[in-house]
Each structure stands twice: as structure tokens, then as C-alpha cells.
Amino acid sequence: MDIVVLLKQVPDTEATIQIQEDGRTIKTQDIKWVINPYDEYAVEEALRIKESQGEGKVTILTVGHDRAVEAMRTALAMGADEGILIDDPAIDTFDGLGIARILAAAIYEISYDLIIAGMRAVDDDSYLVPTAVAEFLEIPSVSMVVRQEISDGKIRCERMVEGGTVVVEADLPAVFTTQKGINEPRYASLPGIMKAKKKKLEKKNLADIGLEAAQLSETGANTRVARLSFPPERQPGKMVEGETPEEKAAELVRLLREEAKVI
């Protein structure tokens, strides 16, 4: 089975984020970049499917800049077979739908039976790219999967919903997105890291996959980031003074009445 994993490189969730002077983008220097955590589940699930079937190919597909190669090499070190990076100066101008159009155009040129993606990218949190890719490719899509089973050209997926589980079945080829709990991603081994250096990683631009930036900008940039801001800083907590519980309770009531003005 040939599987394509959609992998995005994102800032480490531990990274300190600073907003650029333009107020719409973040400062990217000094940030540690990692594989989007949900995409690690996607890589692991693809490898498990390939291993259980004893044949097939896992291709990592990324839209991003040159720095994304590091994340792709990590996926190759985990065991994926090859990678394709779509890099073009124009990609910064496209929103999630535009990125999905690019991914779909790149997938048209690859042989595939299954596409696996993360359910969300932890930086932009659009929750839309994989479903849009499925729509452009006119294939089924199942989101937030915690368990899957493939047989007779079909995939059965379990999705958790409030208070229960839904089992969804779809014909292959299909797209599904991974939810936390689906697996425990493996670490890349040292031999895996050495092998990954020699694995095929192709770099393409938009023209190479039959797209023109100008034509795509009409349909690939319907939304723009207008402003980025941090949540307001939390006020420091206040210790209620007093010798006895009664004194503390009286002081608390006074503060609620006179300072917080909530009673």
C-alpha cells in the first residue's frame, strides 16, 4: 500500500513566540522547529500499516521552506521511504485552502492508496487542510481517528465523540487525520538517522507541479492574518491576610465587596 503523509514543520510548543513589527507574523529566527506533533502520529500510523502489510511505500509531503527538510529527515529516520518538499517564495501568501490546493496538485503526480495527516497543526490551528485536500482529490475523508483497520479496499475508523465512539467506513483511496491516543510515535534510531541521510528527498516549486502562483493567488489566499496578539497578562494572585479563619473570611468578603465589587 502506498501511503502519503502530510507533514508540517511548526515552532516547538515550548518556543518563546515574539510578534514581528508588522503585527501579523512571528519572528522566526531563534525558534526551534519540530514536526507538528499530530503529524508524528500520522508518520507512525503509516509505518505500522506498511509493516503489518509487509510491503508498500511511505512518502512524506510538505509545503514549506528549506528549514522543513530537518523535520522531513526526522520522519525518514523514523522509517518513511522518501520525501517531497514543495517550496516556493509564494507559499507565504496562501492560507490553509491554498496550501491544500498545492498539496493536492503534488499528490496528483504520486501513486497513493491512503493519505494520513494530523488533525490540526499546532501553530495555525486551521483544522481544514486535510479535508480540503480530500475534497480537491474527490476522495473520502475521516477526521480525528483513534483506531483504524484496513481490509478489502476499505478503511474502518474509530472516532471519539462526546460520550461515545463512532465507527466510520470509507472506500480507499481516502484521507484520515490522526487524534492523540492513536499510537505512541517511535523515536528515530541511530541507524535510522544514518539511513535517512541517503533517502530520496525531492524539492519542487509550484511550476514543477503545474501551478502558477498568480493563478493560485485568486483562489489560494481568501483569508489573511489581520493581527496577532497575546492574551492579556493575568493579574497576580492575592493572599488573604488574617490570624484566624474568621478574620480571613471577613477580609475575603471585604475584598470581594470593595475591590472586586462582585458582591
Q: Which chain residues interact with ligand FAD by CB under 6 A? A: 6-8, 25, 36, 38-39, 62-65, 91-92, 94-96, 99, 103, 117-118, 120-121, 124-130, 224-225
| Helix%, strand%, coil% for the chain, nearest 5 | 35, 25, 40
Of 229 and 236, which has the nearer Cβ to ligand FAD?
Answer: 229
List, in order, residues 6 or more apart from 240 with CB less than 8 Å away: 248, 251, 252, 255
- The Cα–Cα gap between 174 and 1 comes to 12
Alpha-helix residue ranges (DSSP H) falling in the chain: 37-53, 69-78, 96-108, 129-137, 190-196, 213-220, 245-254
CA separation for the pair 141, 78 (Å, rounded) = 25
Q: Are 56 and 2 in contact (CB under 8 A)?
A: yes
Q: Name the minimum Å distance from CB 5 to ligand FAD.
A: 7
Nearer to ligand FAD, 9 or 77 (CB): 9
Rounded to a whole number of angstroms, the minimum distance from the CB of residue 23 to ligand FAD is: 12
CA–CA distance, 97 with 102 (Å, rounded to integer): 9
Q: How far is the CB of 55 from ligand FAD (least distance, A)?
A: 24
Query: Under a CB-based contact definition with an 8 Å cutoff, are residues 88 and 206 in contact?
Result: yes
Comparing every residue's Cβ against ligand FAD, the nearest one is 118
Please say which residue, 225 or 249, places its beta carbon nearer to ligand FAD. Answer: 225
User: Residue 216 CB, nearest distance to ligand FAD (Å)?
Assistant: 13
Q: How far is the CB of 128 from ligand FAD (least distance, A)?
A: 4
- For ligand FAD, the closer of residues 92 and 241 by Cβ is 92
Residue 107 Cβ vs ligand FAD, minimum distance, rounded to whole Å: 11
Residue 55 or 218: the one with the smaller Cβ distance to ligand FAD is 218
The separation between CA 184 and the C-alpha centre of its own chain, rounded to angstroms, equals 16
Instruction: Give dist(CA 61, CA 52) in Å, integer.
Output: 22
Task: Report d(CA 125, CA 111) in Å as an integer.
Answer: 29
39 vs 45 by CB, closer to ligand FAD: 39
Toward ligand FAD, which CB reaches closer, 77 or 117? 117
Taking alpha carbons only, the member of 113, 179, 104, 111 closest to residue 150 is 113
Q: In the complex, what is the shortest distance from the CB of residue 235 to ligand FAD, in angstroms, rounded to a whole number? A: 31
